Amino acid sequence: MARRRCGDRLVVAAIDFGTTYSGYAYSFKNEFEKNPLEIRTCQKWQNSAGLNAYKVPSSILFDNEGTFKSFGFTAETEYNDLVDEEMEQGWRFFRRFKMSLYREMNTEKGGRLCRNLKLKDEQGRRMSAMDVFSAAILFLKDHFLTTLKDAFVGIKPDDVHWILTVPAIWSDAAKQFMREAAKKAGIKDNQLDLALEPEAAAVYCKEITVKTKSGKEGSKELSAFSPGEKFLLIDI
């Protein structure tokens, strides 16, 4: 079967797997062709205060048999409840585990890909990094597909092209690890591209337009930058 290019699919969904928070955004082909900045985000996440949020904490909970239980705000709440009831023993809770992959990969000789890499949970117990990362990606993927199914009729999983963001400092081995984790989460290789986080932000900044007043003709959209101008992107 011939590989379908990103631009041939009906929707592009980007998973931002963050160190502290994670989420996703998506863009439909027909809307992108009219306005590249027509981007939708999930606004269904609710924090402990019941307020809507664009992202959820990068926290994940597994039961004492290693089966996925929950992700995000729900994982943090459920684990805190287990601690309060002194029932957390054996449960596996990971938070802010993304950069653990980078640190562990750097300790490997030559930074080689290690599919048997293990991460420590909050209790110091080790679990397969591949299982942890793939479960997190699977949760975000399934959450998006449910959102898509509930709001838009007729779009199938094969109509989606996925983008997974990764830090620019990551080695090729770490990037390949994320690609394999996405594959384990059910994302086909011909439906996936990796994007460097700072490059994605830079492209967005370059596409930003500004509206100016133009009298009787109404507002006019202009590029935020003139040819030859430079901008500085700072991640704070």
Supply the pTM of this predicted model. 0.86
Beta partners for residue 24, in sequence order:
15
Domain assignments of the chain as residue spans, ordered by start? 8-197
pLDDT tens digits along 35-78: 888 889 887 787 777 778 889 999 999 999 999 999 999 999 99
The Cβ-side half-sphere exposure at 25, using a 13 Å CA radius, reads 12
- Specify the 3-state DSSP secondary structure of 52: strand
Show the CA angle centred on residue 42, arms to residues 97 and 176, nearest 5°. Answer: 40
CATH number, span 8-197: 3.30.420.40
pLDDT tens digits along 98-145: 887 777 766 655 556 677 889 999 999 999 999 999 999 999 999 999
d(CA 224, CA 42): 27
Residue indicated by tokens 């863009």: 27
> In the 8-state DSSP scheme, what is residue 186?
T
pLDDT tens digits along 154-173: 788 999 999 999 988 888 88
The residue among 19, 29, 25 whose CA lies nearest residue 59 is 19
**Main-chain phi, psi angles of 208, to 5 degrees:** -60, 135
